[in-house]
């Protein structure tokens, strides 16, 4: 018989009471929750999702007064499922969908869901969303003051390979809280005649039309952030008369791509050793993915290497160094057991120290990107992290903290311990950051002044005009 003894407190330890374990931890989990108020992060997250779902169900059910409202709610919820999950509009016309509705849906909630009704419901939901957003913007808008900032950008869908254009509005609401609203996205594919003079004209027309839908104009905005693409930057500065600033994720991405020579050929690279290292990493990952003789060995190794991993592998990454090293060693041993010629050795066997130090360069930049794109980010956090980056990672006289091996006290790489490739890449990274920052931002980061707001914003809304906004709200 298998038992467990609670060690959560002195009283329970003194009792030394054995509780039988029946093949799972449900009783142990319940005891820890009831007696010690101890729950796992997964349980807390799941409870939060259930509570939110229950509140949403209660809100919808309380608004239904008759069978027409019930059928209407079914259609709108099915439309949200189609739109949010990128499903076909005619999914409700499938034979399986109709059978499922006939068996599982109550008569009061049963309605016809087809492509025509879904298209109509999409327009209805959009109108309701526009009305709610307009009300929110009016409530938090200061008359006569440009109190909003925008972020607009293009991106490409990885699955459909189509280009989309989006517009985000950032503001400080009447409760002095940082808020953002995604006004809209659209598939950006203008005709040849429309983009004959560049993308600025169709870009501007869509931007103005979208702002008009939400009862906004360019005069309601004081600034904008984006990448440094000439068309977008010129449109925001000249056509819309907005104060342009770098979007921090775009800035860090441009700097790292230049310093690490990502996407460059060996003949045009200014950091040839890094280009060769990236090529070796790509070759290693391709070897693991394309080799069918060893089957699921790599996935099983990922489970075995991590002692805290569960018995079921949820996901793995093909670029993890330790798993790759073990995979290549097992491949060589398999060939020796079968008396075959051993394949090539692990291509990155000599690069472990370099990769650890490269990780120390990139991890602080990743933290900045996470903060700058988070809804809870604010200007002091982002600027503080940028200032810390300049004082540590970008300062070539400072040691680097090992971000991979989390130990107490932390491990550092001294300057003389850095490999030549890391020193060169660090120098290129620091130079590109310095030349990319505008003079105002650079002065604010290097010489911060008390009681002033530096003129930088990525997903933030502080500037000289924002100080006026905050003063008016206070």
For 59-114, how does the pLDDT look when each residue is reduced to its tens digit (9 = 90+)? Answer: 888 888 788 888 888 888 899 888 888 788 888 888 888 888 888 888 888 888 88
The band of 137, judged by pLDDT with boundaries at 50, 70 and 90, is very high
Q: What is the tens place of the pLDDT at every residue in 215-259?
A: 999 899 998 888 887 778 888 888 888 888 888 888 888 888 888
CA distance 402 to 411: 5
Q: Are strands 18-20 and 3-5 parallel, antiparallel or unpaired?
A: antiparallel
Give the Cα-Cα-Cα angle 35, 39, 42 (nearest 5 degrees): 160
Predicted pLDDT at 132: 92
The percentage of the chain sitting over the pLDDT mark of 90, rounded to a whole number, equals: 5
Fold of 140-247: Nucleotidyltransferase; domain 5 (3.30.420)
CA distance 403 to 418: 15
Radius of gyration of the chain (CA): 28
Kind plus residue range of the DSSP H or E element containing 354: helix 352-373
Kindly state the DSSP code that residue 178 receives in the 8-state scheme: E
For residue 159, what are the CA distances in angstroms to 156, 163, 263, 369?
9, 11, 21, 24
Scanning 64-114, the segments in alpha helix (DSSP H) are: 67-84, 95-104
CA distance 278 to 284: 10
What are the extents of the domains in the chain? 3-38, 45-123, 140-247, 291-348, 353-458
8 φ, ψ (degrees, to nearest 5)? -75, -20
Kindly state the DSSP code that residue 27 receives in the 8-state scheme: H
249 φ, ψ (degrees, to nearest 5)? -60, -40
The whole model's pTM is what? Answer: 0.64
Asked whether the beta carbons of 208 and 235 are under 8 A apart, the reply is: no
Kindly state the DSSP code that residue 253 receives in the 8-state scheme: H
State whether residue 166 is helix, strand or coil: strand
Q: What is the tens place of the pLDDT at every residue in 205-227?
A: 888 888 998 999 989 999 888 88
pLDDT of residue 42 exceeding 70: no
- For residues 303-326, average pLDDT: 52
Strand partners, 187: 164
Predicted pLDDT at 449: 45
Q: What is the tens place of the pLDDT at every residue in 351-378?
A: 788 888 888 998 999 888 888 876 665 6
3-state DSSP helix/strand/coil percent for the chain, to nearest 5?
55, 10, 35
State whether residue 187 is helix, strand or coil: strand
Predicted pLDDT at 319: 45
The band of 21, judged by pLDDT with boundaries at 50, 70 and 90, is low
CA distance 459 to 371: 9
Lowest average pLDDT, out of 12-21, 82-91, 464-473, goes to: 464-473
Lowest average pLDDT, out of 193-202, 259-268, 436-445, goes to: 436-445
Upstream peptide bond of 251 is cis (omega within 30 degrees of 0) = no
Kindly state the DSSP code that residue 169 receives in the 8-state scheme: E
Asked whether the beta carbons of 386 and 437 are under 8 A apart, the reply is: no
Q: Tell me which residue of 446, 450, 429 sits closest to 438, measured CA to CA.
A: 446
The band of 176, judged by pLDDT with boundaries at 50, 70 and 90, is confident
Indicate if the alpha-carbon torsion angle 456, 372, 320, 406 is positive or negative: positive
- For residues 193-197, average pLDDT: 71
Extended beta strands in 18-117, E state = 18-20
Number of C-beta neighbours around residue 267 at 10 A: 7
């Amino acid at each position: 018989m298998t038992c467990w003894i609670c060690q959560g407190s002195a009283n329970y330890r003194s009792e030394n009471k054995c509780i039988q374990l029946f093949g799972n931890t449900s009783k142990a989990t319940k005891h820890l929750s009831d007696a010690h108020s101890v729950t796992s992060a997964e349980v807390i997250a799941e409870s939060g999702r259930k509570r939110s779902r229950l509140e949403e169900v209660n809100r919808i059910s309380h608004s239904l007064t008759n069978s027409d409202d019930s059928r209407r709610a079914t259609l709108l919820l099915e439309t949200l499922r189609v739109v949010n999950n990128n499903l076909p509009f005619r999914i409700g016309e499938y034979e399986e969908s109709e059978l499922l509705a006939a068996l599982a849906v109550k008569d009061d909630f049963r309605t016809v869901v087809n492509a025509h009704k879904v298209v109509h419901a999409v327009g209805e939901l959009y109108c309701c969303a526009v009305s709610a957003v307009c009300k929110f913007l009016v409530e938090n808008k200061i008359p006569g003051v440009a109190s909003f900032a925008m972020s607009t950008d293009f991106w490409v869908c990885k699955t459909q390979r189509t280009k989309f254009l989006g517009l985000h509005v950032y503001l400080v609401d009447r409760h002095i809280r940082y808020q953002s609203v995604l006004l809209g996205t659209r598939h950006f594919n203008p005709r040849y005649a429309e983009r004959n003079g560049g993308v600025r004209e169709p870009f501007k027309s869509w931007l103005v039309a979208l702002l008009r839908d939400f009862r906004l104009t360019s005069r309601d905005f004081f600034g904008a952030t984006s990448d440094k693409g000439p068309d977008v930057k010129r449109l925001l500065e000249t056509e819309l008369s907005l104060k342009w600033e770098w979007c921090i994720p775009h800035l860090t991405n441009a700097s790292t791509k230049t310093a690490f020579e990502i996407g460059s050929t060996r003949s045009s690279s200014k950091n040839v050793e890094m280009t060769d290292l990236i090529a070796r990493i790509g070759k290693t990952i391709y070897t693991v993915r394309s080799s069918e003789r060893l089957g699921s060995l790599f996935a099983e190794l990922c489970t075995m290497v991590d002692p805290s991993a569960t018995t079921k592998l949820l996901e793995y990454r093909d670029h993890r160094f330790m798993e790759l090293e073990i995979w290549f060693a097992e491949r060589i041993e398999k060939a020796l057991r079968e008396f075959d010629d051993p394949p090539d050795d692990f291509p990155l066997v000599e690069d472990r120290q370099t990769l650890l130090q490269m990780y120390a360069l990139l991890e602080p930049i990743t933290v900045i990107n996470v903060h700058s794109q988070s809804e809870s980010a604010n200007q002091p956090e982002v600027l503080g992290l940028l200032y810390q980056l300049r004082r540590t990672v970008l300062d070539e006289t400072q040691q680097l903290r090992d971000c991979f091996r989390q130990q107490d006290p932390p491990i550092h790489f001294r300057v003389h311990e850095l490999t030549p490739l890391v020193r060169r890449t660090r120098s290129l990274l620091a130079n590109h950051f310095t030349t990319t920052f505008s003079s105002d931002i650079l002065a604010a980061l290097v010489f911060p002044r008390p009681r002033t707001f530096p003129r930088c914003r990525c997903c933030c809304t502080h500037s000289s005009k924002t100080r006026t906004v905050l003063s008016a709200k206070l």
